[in-house]
Structure 1
Amino acid sequence: MVAAMRLSVRQLVEYVFRSGSIESGFRSSSTMQEGTRIHQDIQKQYGENDLKEVYVSREVPYSDFVFHIEGRCDGLLLQNGSIIVDEIKSTSKALADIGGGYPVHWAQAKVYAWIYAKDHNMDTIGVQLTYVQKETGEKKQFQVTASIEELESFIYFVLKEYEPYASLMASHHKERNESIKELGFPFEAYREGQRKFAGAVYKSIADKQALFANAPTGTGKTISTIFPSVKAIGEGLIQRIFYLTAKTITRKAAQDTFFLLKEKGLKLFTVSITAKDKVCFGEGTGCSRESCPFTEGYYDRVNAGILDILSNETFMDRQMIEQYAMKHKLCPFEFSLDLAYAADAVICDYNYIFDPRVSLKRLLDDQKKQTALLVDEAHNLVDRARSMYSAELNKSQFLQLKREWKGRNSGLYDSAKQVNDHLLELKKLGPGTDSRVLAEMPDKLIELLEEFILRAEQELLLSGAADERKELLLDVFFAAAGFIRISKMFDERYTAYLEMDRSEVLVKLFCLDPSLLLKQASKAYRSIIYFSATLSPLPYFIEMLGGNQEEDYTVKIPSPFFKEQLEVHIEPLSTRFKDRERTKLPLVHILYNLLEDQPGSYLIFFPSYKYMNEAVELFMEAPPECEVIVQSAGMTEEEREAFLEFFEENSKKSRIGFGVLGGIFSEGIDLKGNRLTGVVVVGVGLPQLNFERNIIRDYFQAHGKSGYDYAYVFPGMNKVLQAGGRLIRSEEDEGIIVLVDDRFLTRHYYALLPDEWRASIK
């Protein structure tokens, strides 16, 4: 049976011809806009009969396949009656170091040339590589004339090299689809509301729509989104799932679900991407080929590693990827990224899709159209997106660079000095306040940073040697490149501001409203499913996540639990900042009384570490009979595990865990059964009043919204709902939620409580 396979020219040649080492990270940080600008500059020099951005495609039978190969060549030139295919590449290298051009670039140009020549019955065609040095604009070209026979021979060589991978993927897709057809729901029955949720997910994918789902704790959100998405793969609606998470603990829930389906017979390539610093084999020696054997020669070995793991495994978590990476002497992080392009399901952080600095660039638009995004705990994406689409720089970094490179590199020294001096000028221009919004985008700073980027890149290209000066330079290079990248997005949804502290100056491009950028990042995908237990108020999240109130699908799933499982108490005690000293002792007495009336294991959440520690100190002056554990900032994984293990099942003693709202223990954790008796939430969770939050407030107020709600109330109450959601995790759980603040009894805050909480207030 002949199988059809669609792929881009670039996909094909990069698989076959990539070789050598992973280059130092600064190479890939030059902005896409810079490369586009250089392409456009060269294309402007074309003659009036020359064509640019020419789409070509052709079906090529080979072995058991018909390959549909397509792409867009940079230029099609008419010179002296001959046709020449032009491939443009920008480079930071000196053109003298290019040699005769790179094999992967020649391959790309030759495939374009063959398709065009074949379509137009040409016997020969010109093939040209045009390299442009980014700093100088200097141009170097290589040109050959190739016969159709030479090019055809080359094409079949390329396909021969690609065919083992194509055969493996075709065989897998057949097995995958058969296993999906046989796959049943992995539990005995659907929970209340679960079938409705799963149906809404499937319909959204089928209809190419976004879905915003508010699904309470215990709904079984992970299986309710993954199972229908897998079924959609089996029906040919999509080819790939990205399960996006904000935290490691929710990533584990997704992994466990895919593993469960694997145990039930599903054959799905599932890849988990773990942060680079957690999986690095190099022990902090850096990523240069000189310092890391897993980086050196990576591309010479990676195809063998990919074929090996995909031939033998379907479920590829961190442990499995590390095992094969060590076997083939590959960087485990880069290996996981390469595997992601072959996977049916990818479990990863939000930033691999939404962050312009680290997103998976090789995922083509055609592939995105066949992909569904499942965004877990989607309430977290609003502030995460603000961070992704913002950028900042510190004056002190450029001052240090100026000192380090004085007498060593005059160009780099001058460039760092100019940035440092300009930031000092910005500081002096305004009033002597700690923070100040700039009237407009700092264009002069961007010009200076672009010059700095070129100088820094030159220096970094000279040697891969890792020393303290180069490490600092690389860090500042990344920061400057990120700042320039974000400056391209700057519009009315942004502001620029300065923060001053003694001699330090911080300048920040701050994204106030990330909705448009999130919409742009996700629009190419077939469907995107936003889901959370606390996607409330729903209109706020639809707006902030770039949705459309009229067109996008929404679903609100009722709680699957009985109201008898939950008691909610509201203690009308003020926890406002100005009242805390006065109400600290009454608060502690509320905790004492709770433990006396209903002994058990409790999580008690505070709005800040300071407030929590003060309350703990007072609590411990005359504690009831109980064990106590306290969250601290920057806990290690072992300390986090110890905190959770502290809550034993069937504990004979009361156990109290003190934590902070919005922290690692206030969402995403499961303490099922009698490991947890109750949750106490102190305060309404408002973020601390600060300069950034006030800018957000003023921005939305000026746009006809309730600015205070957008900046403070909605994010704060989301933390409250997440903390309370730690309590009832299964059909057998029961317990108490105590809300300590008089504002919970006001109409505005009371209306933001979930229906099931309001129904259980005693």
Structure 2
Amino acid sequence: MFSVLKMFGVRLKILPEHKTGNIIRNMQGEYMTEAGNNYSEKKTQLHISVRNLVEFIFREGDIDNRSSRAMSADAMMEGTRIHRKIQGSMGKEYQAEVPLSLVVEGDLYELTVEGRADGIFTEDGKCFVDEIKGMYRKVELFEKPVFVHRAQAMCYAYIFALQNNMETIGIQMTYCNLETEQTKYFREEFSFEEIKKWFDDLMEEYGKWATFQCEMKNQRQASIKELDFPYEYRPGQKKLVSDVYRTIMRQKLLFMQAPTGVGKTISTIFPAVKAVGEELADRIFYLTAKTITATVAKETFALLEKNGYRAKTIQITAKEKLCPCDEMECNPVTCPYAKGHFDRVNDAVFDLLHRCEMIERDDILSQADRYTVCPFELCLDTASWCDNVICDYNYVFDPNVYLKRFFQEGIKGDYIFLIDEAHNMVERSRQMYSAQIYKEDFLTVKRIMKEHSRSIEKALEKCNKILLGMKRECENYTVYDTFGNMVFSFMRLMTLLDEFLQKANEFPGKKDVMDFYFELRNFLNIYDLVDEHYVMYSELEADGRFMLKLFCVDPSLNIQKRLDKGKSAVFFSATFLPVNYYKSLLSTKKDNYAIYADSTFDSKKRLLAMATDVSTRYTRRSRSEYERIAGYINAVVTQKTGNYMVFFPSYKMMNDVADIYCEKYADETELMLQKNNMSEAEREEFLDRFSEESDRTLVAFGIMGGIFGEGIDLKNDRLIGAIVVGTGLPQISNERTILKDYYDAENGCGFDYAFRYPGINKVLQAAGRVIRTTEDTGVILLLDERFWQREYDLLYPREWSDRKPCNIANVGKLVADFWEQI
């Protein structure tokens, strides 16, 4: 650790919290005890649960989405109840929930296999290990136990027999129907030699994975020791790198405002990799909302690999972009990749890991085709064995999508979270942790289920009546302290749907029922999270639909719970102001760090001007004001031939200004407009225009906060000017009003939290499209007199201290003078 700290210029100080038992690292990187004994041959410590072990090694069969695999919270509670009831009925000799563990030695590792046996009992002098499974299937139809259930019981039986010197051991599989409580038992007996042979074979099969894991880790750690920063440090960058390393070392959270051009990607990834090399963590998650930033992260890991870094890196691609089928119907009837997927996927993963270091979309697709397995599931399984995972935020934070392999209840890992473009996390996390449901959907499903289940039809009708009463009392929107008995009606309906779908075959309308089932399940799951950070409300929408919403106004607690699954996290963005706003919404901790990375850009190569005589206030919007805006645009873009972008707060304003601009200035420039709901191909075509050679000026109109308002990278002369029209305030809506009221009560900053701060972020992002590298040159013009108000003055980054006032009369000369002196 000392050499790394010295490299980053960190003052050395040993803190008690950084001790690792009685084993520390010496300067040569060897393991030493405090008495000085050498532990350079220390084996890697691995852990796996019995359940995960057998489910991984023995999984088989098809992927099949035609039944509701995931049980509702109510059904899971019912399963727990059945467990306890069976355990309680077995008499005093029955030991319930017996913890068992065993350390298995390999050449490179010590693997701890651990778990809890549901029960252990003796009958007629024979000892049995009991494995209890609750389900909605008819247990009387079972002819033999499910293989992975049997294997789970056998693992526990072997451990118990070994530790108690037993010559024979038995297992009992107890299957119980959750609805009827009908029970069926399967028993088997083994000699110790038989079950030992079975367990040894299991360990031999898993041993190749454990050995691979250890070999890769040893190779990775050795390569990191020799790894140097791949560039000459820019001014202030070495401090940035050391601040990130120090944050990870102290297991803290860091919020970093990092202007474009400071090299924030390498300045976060490199110290994170070094921290892994110092055993401060074991896996890096690089999280982002945009494809382009994911690409930059991937290129950065590839650069380190070119310089000697040895590790497995994977980018998780969205399911819809990986699925080779026309429709994502994940079942063996419609998808050949789903049929027998689990029979082949382990071999596919093992082979892929041995062939690729940087695992990308094309690698996944070709491997999936080679082994005929689902590419998305292959991608997720492969990620379990990788050192670096590049993915969207939702794979860590979204309760419906998160990677259960890493973040399920009871799991805490040695993870570092690097969260890029973290300003997006506020609105994204509000969406992730909120849920809504519509009254009209209950009626749709009721019509479908009428022919299939009278009990479900009645439950749907009951829910609908409750919602109808709420609808009649709602003129616009209504905020509630509680949803009362309605939630119990939802839970009852959920249980009935869960039971029905567990057994149901195909029927007309099943897809609509399944969609509703998942919406209802999500609503109830989110309801379990509701606390003072939520507002519950109903809304009568313009089209007459009636919605109930669980609105997560403050996502900080939910995000913190996910962050607590790892060791440390770094939030960073080029637009992270005011930082205390983001700190309060993205974490509950009060001792988090925050730093401001100084820009390395020469401000003389950029003109930043703000108009004093134009406004986009609703009360000022008129043809004369739009003519002034069009005049500003023309005055800027006619001073130098090139590509410009103009960002508007809405499509309506954009189109109104475009009409006037075309009337007055169409002959002088080429105009291009962003369309609503553009396809991927249309987006690429839009951006490709900026790369085309032309002797005419291109002016592209777009939307602030839209697909071109952030996340695009038009370097050098591909973009030489950005004009931002308005302060970016979100449109007034019921939800924004609820946010404002909540934060007025919370801290008196309702308007700032609901409108001003989200708005200024969109402005800063749009303005940031111009200057992408230290070599870029360009003009930024902000059109709204409110930008000169003190409330906004406090929100600008340090590098905006040279902003200049302008008006319609002098803006042309101001821009012309700038280009002349460049």
Distance 1:382 1:571, change over 3 A: same
Contact kept in structure 1, 2:176 and 2:183, CA below 8 Å: yes
Aligned partner of 2:47 in structure 1 is: 6
Contact kept in structure 2, 1:85 and 1:113, CA below 8 Å: yes
Contact kept in structure 2, 1:91 and 1:131, CA below 8 Å: yes
Pick one of 563, 566, 586 that aligns with 1:525: 566
Larger radius of gyration: 2
Contact kept in structure 1, 2:415 and 2:565, CA below 8 Å: no
Question: Residues of 1 paired with 2:273 and 2:395: CA distance?
Answer: 21
Does residue 734 in structure 1 map to residue 774 in structure 2? no
Question: Residues of 2 paired with 1:315 and 1:661: CA distance?
Answer: 35
Matches within 5 A, 1:404-553: 404-428=448-472, 430-431=473-474, 433-440=475-482, 442-462=483-503, 465=506, 469-501=509-541, 504-549=545-590, 551-553=591-593
Does residue 605 in structure 1 map to residue 642 in structure 2? no
Question: Residues of 2 paired with 1:741 and 1:401: CA distance?
Answer: 50
- Residue type of the partner of 1:11? N
SS across alignment from 1:322: helix
Contact kept in structure 2, 1:516 and 1:546, CA below 8 Å: yes
Does residue 615 in structure 1 map to residue 662 in structure 2? no
SS across alignment from 1:619: helix
- Residue type of the partner of 2:434? S
SS across alignment from 1:29: coil
Contact kept in structure 2, 1:651 and 1:675, CA below 8 Å: no
Question: Residues of 1 paired with 2:372 and 2:346: CA distance?
Answer: 12
Distance 1:321 1:715, change over 3 A: same
The RMSD of aligned alpha carbons is: 2.4
Distance 1:138 1:427, change over 3 A: farther
- Residue type of the partner of 1:588? A
Q: Report deviation, 1:161.
A: 1.5
Question: Residues of 2 paired with 1:754 and 1:21: CA distance?
Answer: 54
Does residue 403 in structure 1 map to residue 439 in structure 2? no
Aligned identity (percent) is: 39
- Residue type of the partner of 2:47? R
Does residue 686 in structure 1 map to residue 726 in structure 2? no
Q: Report deviation, 1:648.
A: 2.9
- Residue type of the partner of 2:160? Y
Aligned partner of 2:326 in structure 1 is: 283
Count how many residue pairs are aligned between Structure 1 and Structure 2: 756
SS across alignment from 1:93: coil
Question: Residues of 1 paired with 2:511 and 2:237: CA distance?
Answer: 51
Q: Report deviation, 1:497.
A: 1.6
Question: Residues of 2 paired with 1:495 and 1:367: CA distance?
Answer: 30
Contact kept in structure 2, 1:26 and 1:478, CA below 8 Å: no
Q: Report deviation, 1:396.
A: 2.1
Question: CA-to-partner distance for each residue in 1:684-714, whole Å, 9 max, x for gaps?
Answer: 1111111011111111111223111111111
Question: CA-to-partner distance for each residue in 1:156-177, whole Å, 9 max, x for gaps?
Answer: 0111211222232222222222
Question: CA-to-partner distance for each residue in 1:509-529, whole Å, 9 max, x for gaps?
Answer: 111111111111211211111
Distance 1:64 1:702, change over 3 A: closer
Aligned partner of 1:562 in structure 2 is: 602
Distance 1:301 1:534, change over 3 A: same
Distance 1:760 1:576, change over 3 A: closer
Question: Residues of 2 paired with 1:456 and 1:341: CA distance?
Answer: 33
Aligned partner of 1:630 in structure 2 is: 673
Pick one of 156, 177, 193 that aligns with 1:149: 193
Question: CA-to-partner distance for each residue in 1:56-79, whole Å, 9 max, x for gaps?
Answer: 322122566432222233445577
Pick one of 287, 296, 321 that aligns with 1:253: 296
Aligned partner of 2:753 in structure 1 is: 710
TM-score (normalised: structure 1):
0.94
Larger displacement relative to structure 2 (521-530 or 126-135): 126-135
- Residue type of the partner of 2:650? S
TM-score (normalised: structure 2):
0.87
Matches within 5 A, 1:144-183: 144-183=188-227
Q: Report deviation, 1:40.
A: 4.9
- Residue type of the partner of 1:744? F
Aligned partner of 2:18 in structure 1 is: none
Larger displacement relative to structure 2 (675-684 or 598-607): 598-607
Aligned partner of 2:617 in structure 1 is: 576
Question: Residues of 2 paired with 1:354 and 1:34: CA distance?
Answer: 24
Where structure 2 has 5 or more consecutive residues not aligned to the other structure, the ranges are: 1-40, 806-822
Contact kept in structure 2, 1:563 and 1:760, CA below 8 Å: no
Does residue 89 in structure 1 map to residue 133 in structure 2? yes
Aligned partner of 2:388 in structure 1 is: 345
SS across alignment from 1:622: helix
Distance 1:70 1:612, change over 3 A: same
Distance 1:98 1:752, change over 3 A: farther
Question: CA-to-partner distance for each residue in 1:249-306, whole Å, 9 max, x for gaps?
Answer: 2222222222233333332211111111121122105112221111111110001101
Contact kept in structure 2, 1:650 and 1:674, CA below 8 Å: no
Q: Report deviation, 1:619.
A: 1.0
Question: Residues of 1 paired with 2:485 and 2:123: CA distance?
Answer: 42
Q: Report deviation, 1:611.
A: 1.2
Contact kept in structure 2, 1:217 and 1:559, CA below 8 Å: yes
Larger displacement relative to structure 2 (649-658 or 677-686): 649-658
Contact kept in structure 2, 1:605 and 1:680, CA below 8 Å: yes
Contact kept in structure 2, 1:649 and 1:673, CA below 8 Å: no
Pick one of 304, 317, 322 that aligns with 1:274: 317
Distance 1:146 1:664, change over 3 A: same
Contact kept in structure 2, 1:631 and 1:659, CA below 8 Å: yes
Question: CA-to-partner distance for each residue in 1:588-646, whole Å, 9 max, x for gaps?
Answer: 11111112334432111111111111111111112252122111121112211122221
- Residue type of the partner of 1:383? E
Does residue 43 in structure 1 map to residue 84 in structure 2? yes
Contact kept in structure 2, 1:29 and 1:481, CA below 8 Å: no
Question: Residues of 2 paired with 1:52 and 1:700: CA distance?
Answer: 49
Does residue 315 in structure 1 map to residue 355 in structure 2? no
Question: Residues of 2 paired with 1:397 and 1:661: CA distance?
Answer: 34
Pick one of 255, 259, 264 that aligns with 1:212: 255
Does residue 376 in structure 1 map to residue 420 in structure 2? yes
Contact kept in structure 1, 2:74 and 2:491, CA below 8 Å: no
Question: Residues of 1 paired with 2:83 and 2:139: CA distance?
Answer: 16
Contact kept in structure 2, 1:135 and 1:454, CA below 8 Å: no
- Residue type of the partner of 1:20? G
Q: Report deviation, 1:135.
A: 4.3
Distance 1:678 1:54, change over 3 A: farther
Aligned partner of 1:243 in structure 2 is: 286
- Residue type of the partner of 1:479? E
Q: Report deviation, 1:118.
A: 2.6
Larger displacement relative to structure 2 (54-63 or 374-383): 54-63
Matches within 5 A, 1:642-653: 642-648=685-691, 651-653=694-696
Does residue 586 in structure 1 map to residue 628 in structure 2? yes
Distance 1:570 1:294, change over 3 A: same
Question: CA-to-partner distance for each residue in 1:289-338, whole Å, 9 max, x for gaps?
Answer: 22111111111000110111011111111111011011100111111111
Question: Residues of 1 paired with 2:262 and 2:324: CA distance?
Answer: 39
Q: Report deviation, 1:190.
A: 2.2
Q: Report deviation, 1:489.
A: 0.8
Question: Residues of 2 paired with 1:685 and 1:730: CA distance?
Answer: 25
Q: Report deviation, 1:655.
A: 1.3
Aligned partner of 2:159 in structure 1 is: 115
Contact kept in structure 2, 1:106 and 1:129, CA below 8 Å: yes
Larger displacement relative to structure 2 (371-380 or 108-117): 108-117
Larger displacement relative to structure 2 (715-724 or 65-74): 65-74
SS across alignment from 2:382: helix
Q: Report deviation, 1:547.
A: 4.2
- Residue type of the partner of 2:606? L
- Residue type of the partner of 2:222? E
- Residue type of the partner of 1:68? T
Where structure 1 has 5 or more consecutive residues not aligned to the other structure, the ranges are: none
Pick one of 64, 71, 80 that aligns with 1:23: 64
Aligned partner of 2:243 in structure 1 is: 200
